[in-house]
């Protein structure tokens, strides 16, 4: 029996406060109602970590929370999902981050308080233990001011340890897009943006032009294309894989992070690029069948039921995914 791959996730940590069934859009001086509210584990990095663990990887998390109930919820949920949390530190000055999410069918509006995550720096990374891992995933550094300026140095240092790495920048909420991708991406094994992020990062209005611009600097590029599935770019060749369509759609929160978890875990186990793209699509679709980014992965029984339904619907596609 193969030993599970060991993944260290470095990133932001916060709760998501989800409001659904909202009557209209907020206006100054007026109050509107929502039908339901849930407080769940949020953040791109944490969703990736929890779902990668649910898919069989041995996952550890490195981040920062406040000394409060939301921080306890984040750590407890990660532990319950099988994620090792020894490298999560507690800020004495700031509260745990939170994102208020207003859901409108398949669209949403977000407001984020970054909180303790801005105090996280590369000195919080367990460098003395990095060699114990097979892979390091880093996500959403645009909201992590403590490491934003050190991204290139971090990936250079990780590469010195001979382990594989992945990066999902996420959307730059300040829209500065000052990531020096030409210098940094050669040190990243798997770059995992979505279409909008790649266009904004490169400054092009055509996805083909954006790919042409960035492919000279990437190793493996797994490009999330929403309802069109995902594209894989390697050695200037493009693989296009179709999206899965679940019968039930709840929300798309964390779907991209679940895609990342599906892609990375499968590639680490198989080194098969096309299969990993398809598995990413599959896990992104699973994500949308329940509230928030981790709920669909919280039960192995229900997870496999959803997977079987999605695979049956696409039984003519030739691939092997556990």
Residue 321 lies in a domain: no
Number of domains in the chain: 1
Inside any domain, residue 318: no
pLDDT of 292: 84
Residue-range definition of the domain harbouring residue 63: 6-25+34-313
Q: How confident is the model at residue 318 (pLDDT cuts 50, 70, 90)?
A: very low
For residue 140, being part of any structural domain is answered with yes
- Of 66-75, 164-173, 305-314, the one with minimum mean pLDDT is 305-314
In a domain, 319, yes or no: no
Does the pLDDT of residue 312 top 90, yes or no? Answer: no
Q: Mean pLDDT across the chain, nearest whole number?
A: 93
Domain harbouring 137, CATH code = 3.40.1190.20
User: How wide is the angle at C-alpha 197 spanned by C-alphas 209 and 112, nearest 5°?
Assistant: 165
Q: How far apart are CA 219 and CA 172, in angstroms?
A: 22
pLDDT over 90 for what percent of the chain? 80
Mean pLDDT of the region 318-322 = 46
Tens digits of residue pLDDT in 254-309 = 999 999 999 999 999 999 999 999 999 999 999 999 988 888 998 898 898 888 88
pLDDT band at 72 (very low <50, low <70, confident <90, very high): very high
Using the predicted structure, report yes or no on whether residue 321 has a pLDDT greater than 70.
no
Q: Is residue 198 part of a domain?
A: yes
pLDDT band at 23 (very low <50, low <70, confident <90, very high): confident
* pLDDT for 101: 92
DSSP one-letter code for 194: B
**Residue 116 three-state SS:** helix
Mean pLDDT for the stretch of residues 3-20: 95
Question: CA 264, CA 47: separation in Å to the nearest integer?
Answer: 13
Indicate whether 70 belongs to any domain: yes
Query: 114: which residues sit within 8 A by CB, 6+ positions away?
Result: 12, 14, 97, 143, 144, 145
Q: With 70 as the cut, is the pLDDT of residue 167 above it?
A: yes
- 1 inside domain: no
Q: Summarize the confidence of residues 60-71 as an average pLDDT.
A: 98
pLDDT at 317: 53
């Amino acid at each position: 029996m193969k030993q599970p791959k060991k993944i260290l996730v470095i990133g932001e940590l916060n709760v998501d406060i989800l409001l659904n069934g909202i009557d209209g859009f907020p206006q100054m001086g007026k109050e509107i109602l929502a039908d339901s509210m849930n407080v769940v584990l949020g953040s791109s990095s944490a969703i990736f970590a929890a779902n990668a663990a649910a898919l069989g990887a041995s996952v550890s998390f490195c981040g920062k929370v406040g000394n409060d109930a939301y921080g306890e919820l984040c750590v407890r949920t990660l532990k319950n999902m099988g994620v090792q949390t020894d490298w999560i530190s507690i800020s004495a000055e700031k509260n745990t981050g939170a994102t208020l999410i207003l859901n409108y069918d398949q669209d949403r509006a977000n407001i984020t308080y970054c909180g303790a995550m801005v105090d996280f720096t590369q000195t919080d990374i367990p460098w003395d233990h990095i060699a114990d891992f097979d892979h390091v995933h880093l996500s959403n550094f645009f909201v992590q001011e403590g490491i934003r300026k050190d991204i290139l140095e971090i990936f250079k240092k990780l590469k010195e340890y001979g382990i594989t790495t992945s990066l999902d920048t996420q959307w730059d909420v300040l829209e500065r897009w000052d990531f020096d991708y030409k210098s940094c991406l050669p040190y990243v094994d798997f770059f995992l943006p979505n279409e909008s992020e790649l266009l904004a990062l490169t400054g092009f209005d055509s996805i083909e032009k954006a790919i042409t611009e960035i492919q000279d600097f990437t190793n493996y590029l797994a490009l999330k294309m929403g309802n069109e599935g995902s594209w894989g770019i390697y050695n200037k060749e493009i693989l296009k894989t179709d999206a899965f369509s679940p019968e039930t759609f709840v929300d798309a929160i964390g779907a991209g992070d679940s895609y990342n978890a599906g892609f990375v875990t499968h590639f680490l186990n198989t080194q098969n690029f096309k299969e990993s793209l398809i598995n990413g699509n599959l896990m992104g679709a699973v994500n949308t069948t329940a509230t928030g980014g981790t709920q669909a992965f919280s039960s192995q029984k229900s997870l496999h039921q959803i997977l079987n339904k999605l695979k049956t619907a696409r039984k003519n596609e030739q691939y092997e995914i556990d």
